[in-house]
Structure 1
Amino acid sequence: MPRHRTRYTLFLTRTGGRSLGLELTPLAVGLLFLFLGGLLGLGAYLGYKAASLRPLERRLEALSEEARRLSLALEEERRKNGALSQKARETEEELRKLKEAIEELRRRAGLPPKSVRPARLEPQGGPGLPPGEEPGWAFLKEEVLGLRRELEGVQPALERTLAREAARPRGLPLPYFREVSSHFGLRKNPFGRGSEFHDGLDFSAPYGAPVRATAPGVVVRAGWMGAYGLAVQVDHGYGYQTLYGHLSRLEVRPGERVQRGQVLGRVGSTGRSTGPHLHYTVFQGGVAVDPSAYIKE
């Protein structure tokens, strides 16, 4: 009795028009879902990144506006008094350093630069000062110190956000070899009958090609790992870990701190493998997730 191959039919209909039917193989359906999953993963990542930086962006915007207000007040005071006193010069220098610090934080957060120089001089001490109150250098000095304290409060929050972002694996573990020979998810058992769950991506690459870390972290395992053969597992913090399997040689040891892009080992075919390639797994919270959403730069 002839064996029929499984097919899926996708119908596209238009109101008042003819229907179009597309026949798809199970492989094509799987690739379509992987593609859609990758798009959803990329969208979720971009949304997460924007959400994590939005509070910092608002605080940096407020600091920029406060620095601009103080610049206006300093310019007005200079106009009134002519020559600057020593205290005035010190206040002006401190404000200049604050502006540079704000812009450096914006740059590190990936935010566009924002000028904090006064756009124009405004009468009566500049905007935001109490009505009828002359700014005076003592008042301005206290305002600048307050701005410095607030900026020092923003910096640790930014450092934590950037550290969390740096811990997220990104890019290819084999920068010059992009061909995926086996995707994440259910696949045909390459060693026999039936199907099996594949917890990563397999990249085709020549024997000995350098395998690189996709994020900074600490090597927690480096050695023989059963079906993975010679393998390296790196803990990046914030719940992220990556595993690099079927290596021919190790270049790191357990406990070693590695940087993104550092060589961890060489492509091989150790363990449960049918030929030279790299098995790459991404763990989030101890659970293997589809690396497709993480290999985009």
Structure 2
Amino acid sequence: MKGRKRERFITLMIIPHSEKSTFSISVPFSFIKAVKYIAAGTAVAVAGASIYFFVSYRELKARNEELAVKAGKYEAVQARLEYFEEKTKSMEEKVKKLEELDASLREMLKNDPELKAKLDQKISPPSQPAGLASRSGIDRERALEQLEELDKKLEDQENSLEQLVAAVEARNKRLACTPSIWPLKGEVTSRFGYRRSPFGRSIEFHDGLDIAAPYGSPIKAAADGKVTFAGYMSGYGYTVEISHGYGIKTAYSHVSRILVKAGQQVKKGDIIARVGSSGRSTGPHLHYMVKVNGIPRNPEEYLD
């Protein structure tokens, strides 16, 4: 048909080196162009895919790095929470110790209303800092500060209580060493101070308290202490002398029988001798003396 463009071909001839005959292939020019376009499209697709995979790789790498950072932060948070738990356990132990100290104080002060009144309100364990109940939304830095403040406060309270216990123990020890009980039940026949001598009409200074009682009645130590003398003393007859510390000494004279030895430790209320009338005496009684730094004091000032 006239006006129709004639198709162009490209002929490829293959000539073998052997004696075989040659052969040729005729390929339309349009096919070559199609192959060229396909190759170009393939190259573009490969390039696009390479770019896509490269970008994806960068994103994946960035995400991995971000996850690694988050994992590090998570480990730090876990370490901080473990620290909180250790602090809480430590504080619980301190609170328990405070409660034991409180119980000890109350036991020591159960017979002392005046001091006991000062400790009427028990020390309550401080409440848990806000924010530790839940791990979400915690201001961890502030929570840590609160824990450390609480730990310091507990330590201060513990030290304060320990000092108070030591003071009360020292006070109780001093009280135990203070001659506060009557060494003998009986009638006071002569008090401390100047008096008319039972052996004449002269006035003399009486350095103790005379307590009359039946012969052989038990005589008690008026306080804790150490026996410094147990024997016969001129004018006083058989005598027991006890040192109680703090410069205080007591003496028990005119006894009939001594039941302790020098160097022996005695407790308040221990029986140390028996009533007698040894030495310069007019009848069975106890001559009881209290000395502070070597100076005689009125025993009745110390007796309950």
Tell me, yes or no, whether TM beats 0.5: yes
> How many Å apart are 1:169 and its aligned residue?
0.6
Q: Does 1:145 align with 2:155?
A: yes
1:266 aligns with 2:274: yes
* TM-score normalised by structure 2 residue count: 0.60
Pairing 1:132-211 to 2, within 5 Å after superposition: 133-134=142-143, 136-174=146-184, 177-211=185-219
Structure 1 position 93, deviation (Å):
3.4
- Which residue is 1:97 aligned to? 97
SS in 1 for 2:195: strand
State the partner residue of 1:250.
258
How many angstroms does 1:208 deviate by? Answer: 0.5
Output the amino acid matched with 2:95: L
Question: Is the partner of 2:235 in helix, strand or coil?
Answer: helix
User: Secondary structure at the residue paired with 1:274?
Assistant: coil
Rg larger for: 2
The equivalent residue for 2:245 is 237
Q: 1:232 to 1:93 in 2, by over 3 A?
A: same
Shift of 1:260: 0.5
Q: Secondary structure at the match of 1:292?
A: helix
Q: Which residue of structure 2 aligns with residue 116 of structure 1?
A: 122
Of all paired residues, the percent bearing the same amino acid is 41
SS at structure 1 position matched to 2:280: coil
Confirm or deny: 8 A CA contact 2:220 2:270 kept in the other structure.
yes
Task: Tell me how far 1:215 sits from its aligned partner.
Answer: 0.2
Cα distance in 2 for residues equivalent to 1:120 and 1:157: 25
Alpha-carbon shift at residue 103 of structure 1 (Å): 4.2
Partner of 1:14: none
For 1:161, what is the secondary structure of its paired residue? helix
Which residue type is aligned with residue 214 of structure 1?
Answer: A
Residues 255 and 286 of structure 2 are in contact (CA less than 8 Å); yes or no, is this contact kept in structure 1?
A: yes
Alpha-carbon distance between aligned partners in 1 of 2:183 and 2:283, rounded to the nearest angstrom:
18
Q: CA deviation at 1:107?
A: 4.2
Structure 2 gap ranges (5+): 1-80, 132-140
2:228 matched residue in structure 1: 220
Q: CA deviation at 1:227?
A: 0.9
Q: How does 1:60-79 map to 2 (within 5 A)?
A: none
User: Is the CA contact (8 Å cut-off) linking 2:102 and 2:122 kept in structure 1?
Assistant: no
- Following superposition, the deviation at residue 88 of structure 1 comes to 2.0
CA distance in 2, matches of 1:248, 1:169: 22
SS in 2 for 1:193: coil
Cα separation, 1, equivalents of 2:127 and 2:162: 28
Contact 1:103/1:114 (<8 A) preserved: no
In structure 1, runs of 5+ residues without a counterpart are: 1-80, 126-131
Q: CA deviation at 1:251?
A: 0.3
Q: Equivalent residue of 1:227, what SS?
A: coil
CA contact (8 A) 2:95 2:125 kept: no
Distance 1:193 1:107 in 2: 54
Which structure has more RCO (C-alpha within 8 Å, separation ≥ 6)?
Answer: 1
- Find the counterpart in structure 2 of residue 279 from structure 1: 287
Counterpart contact for 1:220–1:234, Cα < 8 Å:
yes
May I ask how many residue pairs the two structures share in their alignment? 206
Once structures 1 and 2 are overlaid, which stretch shifts more, 156-165 or 178-187? 156-165
Deviation for aligned residue 1:136: 4.0
**Aligned partners of 2:146 and 2:201: how far apart in 1?**
84
Counterpart secondary structure, 1:254: coil
Residues 295 and 143 (structure 1 numbering): CA distance in 2 closer, same or farther, change over 3 Å? closer
